[in-house]
Amino acid sequence: MKFPAPVSVQWIAELIQAETLGNLSNPVTGINEIHVVETGDLVFVDHPKYYDTCLQSAASFIIINTKEVTIPEGKAILVVKDPFEAYLKIVTHFRPFISAVKPISDDAIIGEGSVIMPNVFIGHHVVIGKNCVIQPNVSILDHVTIGDDVVIQSGTVIGSDAFYYNTKKNRDVWYKRMLSCGSVVIEDAVEIGAGCTIDRGVTAETRLGKGTKLDNMVHIGHDTRVGKNCLFAAQVAIAGGVIVEDGVTLWGQVGVSKTLTIGANAVVLAQSGVPSSIPGNKVYWGTPTDDASIKRRELVWIKRIPELWKKVME
C-alpha cells in the first residue's frame, strides 16, 4: 500500500512509539509485504529467521523487535516490542475501516453503458469501466478497480479480506488477522461466474488479466496474479501469492497451493492438486501434479499389480 503522500521516518516512529536507528533522511512512501516491497517502503519482521531477508530486501525501513542487527547502508530500522501490532496501527491509520451507509458508495465511479442489477453492493473507492454487467447480489468491496466489458454473475464477492493470520501460541487467541490494505484489479473482458470469491491483496493487489474467464464457485486468494486469457472451471481454488501466467487452463476442482508459479499455457486436469511450481506448455494431472502422460502410464501399471502379484505367487 502506498501512502497518500510520503511521510518522515520520525512521524512513523512517533505513531508506533518506535526507537529509530540508521538513515533517517529518506521519506517513507508505503508499507508492504516482503515479496512486493519497493524502495521507500516499510516492512515488518518479528522472527529472527526472517531478519536478514527483510534487511536485505528492497525495503528502505524495517520495523523490527531487536537492535542487535547490522543495518544495511542507507536503510533504517524502527525498533518496537511487537512489530505486528505496529503494522496494524499503521494500516488502521492510513486505511481505516469506513462503514457503508448505502448500497452504492457516493465515490464509486461507474462507466458509461454499465448495468448494475438490483441488490448489488459497491463499496468505497471502486471504479467500474464501460459496458459491464453486474448481476444481482454481487458485492464489490472497497478498493476494487474493474475494466471495460466485464461480466460478474450473481452472488460473487470481490475484495474480501485475505485469509492471512499472524500466529502466536503465547496468547489466548493464536490466530490474529493481518489487516488487508491492498486492492483487486479486474482487467478488461474478464467474466466471473456465480458464487466466486476474490480476496484483495494484503498490502498489494490481486489481479485478473484481460480476457480471463472464471466458472462458478472459484476462489482466488490474496495477492494472486492471474495472467491474460486464462480459463478456470468450477470449484477451482487458488491460495495466496500465486502467479498464474497467460493462457493457463485449470479444470474443475483443481487446488493450487500458495506462492508458486504456473507457467504459460499449462493445462491442469480436473481434481488435481498443485503443491509447487510447474512449467508451462504441458498437461498435468494428479496429486501431486505431474505430466499427465506419465500419470496415465502409472495408472495402467497400478491396475496390473494384482495380475503381476498372481504370477509371482504361482
pLDDT for 263 beyond 90: yes
Which part of the chain has CATH 3.40.1390.10? 2-94
Which of 46-50, 142-146, 232-236 is predicted least confidently?
46-50
Given a contact cutoff of 8 angstroms between Cβ atoms, the answer to whether 54 and 71 are in contact is: no
Catalytic residue set: 222
Please provide residue 308's backbone torsions phi and psi, each rounded to the nearest 5 degrees: -65, -40
46, 49, 50, 55 alpha-carbon torsion, rounded to 10°: 100
The percentage of the chain sitting over the pLDDT mark of 90, rounded to a whole number, equals 88
Cβ atoms 214, 230 nearer than 8 A: no
270 pLDDT above the threshold of 90: yes
Q: For the range 132-137, what are the long-range contacts, defined as Cβ-Cβ under 8 Å and sequence gap of 24 or more?
A: 135/194
Distance in Å from the first CA to the final CA of the chain: 70
Contact by Cβ (8 Å): 6, 28: yes
**How many of the other CB atoms lie within 10 Å of CB of 274?**
22
Contacts of range 197-200, beta carbons closer than 8 Å, 24 or more positions apart: 197/156, 197/157, 197/160, 198/156, 198/157, 198/158, 198/159, 198/160, 199/159, 199/160, 199/161, 199/162, 199/163, 199/240, 200/141, 200/143, 200/144, 200/159, 200/160, 200/161, 200/162
Query: What's the rounded Cα separation, in Å, for the pair 269 and 287?
Result: 11
What pLDDT shows up at residue 142?
97
Q: Which of 1-5, 55-59, 274-278, 302-306 has the lowest mean pLDDT?
A: 302-306
pLDDT at position 31, please?
96
Q: What is the pLDDT of residue 68?
A: 93
CATH 2.160.10.10 in the chain is located at 109-296
Radius of gyration (Cα) for the chain, nearest Å? 23
pLDDT at 284: 98
Q: Cα separations (Å) of 192 from 152, 183, 186, 205, 278?
A: 5, 17, 10, 18, 25
For residue 265, pLDDT over 90 is answered with yes
pLDDT tens-digit series, residues 13-34 = 999 999 999 999 999 999 999 8
Task: Report the pLDDT averaged over residues 89-109.
Answer: 95
- Does domain 109-296 fall under CATH 1.10.8.290? My reply is no
pLDDT range class, residue 291, cuts 50, 70, 90: very high
Strand 261-262, strand 144-146: pairing = unpaired
CA angle 281, 284, 289 (to 5 degrees): 130
CA-to-CA distance for 228 and 71, rounded, in angstroms? 40
Average pLDDT in the 85-112 region? 96
Percent helix / strand / coil, the chain, rounded to 5? 15, 30, 55
Do the beta carbons of residue 193 and residue 153 sit within 8 Å?
Answer: yes
The number of C-alpha atoms within 13 Å of 281 and in the hemisphere containing its C-beta is 0
How would residue 121 be classed by pLDDT, with cut points 50, 70 and 90?
Answer: very high
Per-residue confidence (pLDDT) for residue 298, from 0 to 100:
86
Assigned CATH for 2-94: 3.40.1390.10
pLDDT tens profile 157-209: 999 999 999 887 777 888 989 999 999 999 999 999 999 999 999 999 999 99
Query: Residue 97 has what pLDDT?
Result: 92
What's the number of CA atoms in the CB half-sphere (13 Å) around residue 169? 0
Closest CA relative to residue 278, chosen from 261, 256, 258: 261
Specify the pLDDT at position 167. Answer: 84
CB 262 within 8 A of CB 280: yes
